Amino acid sequence: MAISVVMPRLSDTMEEGKILRWLKKEGDRVEGGEIIAEIQTDKADIEMEAFGSGTLRKILVGAGQSAPVGQPIGVIAEEDEDVSTMLSPITGVAGQAARPGEPEAPAPVPPTLQAVTPGRIKASPLAKRLARAQGIELSIVKGSGPGGRIIRRDVDAMMSATAAVGQRVPSISPAPPIAERAVAITVSTPSPEFEDRELSPMRRAIAKRVAQSTATVPHFYLTVEVAMDKATELRDAMQIQAPDLKATFTDIIIRAVVIALGRHAAVNASFTGDRIRVYSQVNLGIAVALEEGLINPVLRNCGEKSLVQIARESKSLVERARAQKLRPEEYTGATFTVSNLGMYEIDEFTAIINPPEAAILAIGRIQSKPVVMNGAVQIGQRMRMTLSCDHRAVDGVAGATFLQEVKWLLEHPFHLVL
Active site residues: 391
362-371 CB contacts, 8 Å cutoff, 24+ apart = 362/386, 362/387, 362/388, 363/250, 363/253, 363/338, 363/339, 365/341, 366/228, 366/232, 366/249, 366/342, 371/227
Minimal CA–CA distance to 331: which of 236, 191, 205? 205
Cα–Cα distance measured from residue 327 to residue 16, given in angstroms and rounded to the nearest whole number: 17
Q: Which residues pair with 377 in a beta bridge?
A: 372
Scored b (16 or more CB within 10 A) or e, 151-178 reads bbbbbbbbbbbbeeeeeebbeeeeeeee
Cα–Cα distance measured from residue 189 to residue 185, given in angstroms and rounded to the nearest whole number: 11
- The CB density around residue 393, as the number of other CB atoms within 10 Å, is 24
Cα–Cα distance measured from residue 160 to residue 352, given in angstroms and rounded to the nearest whole number: 34
Which residues have a Cβ under 8 Å from the Cβ of 244 and sit 6 or more positions away? none
The burial of 136, by beta-carbon neighbours within 10 Å (0-12 exposed, 13-18 middle, 19 or more buried), is given as buried
